[in-house]
Amino acid sequence: MLLLPYPRDVEAGSEHVAEEPPPEVSKVYERGQTVVPKRIREALAIESGAHLQWQVREGVIQVIPVPSNPVRALRGLLKGTGYTYARFLRERQLEREAERRREAAEPPTSLTPPR
């Protein structure tokens, strides 16, 4: 479910209660095209030419904007998790060693050059 901040707030007594945004409705045209409502495009910085990923989960359509530069979008994702580049390199080294042991244990085939 896509939840967006809504600019209008309502004062209710001493509590500060956010007003529910009105539902956004768009029409699906003959060729399956639809329009992403302006408020949603602006909130998620969806510009012309952007790609959207569509999924159906438990009967609900999910629309996920695909970043124009996915690698840059992931930058900082692991910050604060304790997972370091040095740890990544060590894990990768262990994976490569395990791959080499498995390959060495496999019998050679006619397509595999002898070692």
Query: Considering the entire predicted model, what is its pTM?
Result: 0.47
Residue 55 sits in a domain whose CATH number is: 2.10.260.10
DSSP state of 49: T
Residues 16 and 43 in one domain: yes
| Domain housing 14 | 9-67
Q: Per residue in 23-80, pLDDT tens?
A: 888 999 999 999 999 999 998 889 999 999 999 999 999 999 998 888 888 888 888 8
Domain presence at residue 2: no
Amino acid at the residue 43: A
On whether the CB atoms of residues 46 and 38 are closer than 8 A, the answer is no
Separation of alpha carbons 90 and 84, rounded Å: 10
For the chain, first and last CA: distance in Å?
55
Residues 60 and 101 in one domain: no
Residues 32 and 62 in one domain: yes
Residues 81 and 61 in one domain: no
Specify the number of domains making up the chain.
2
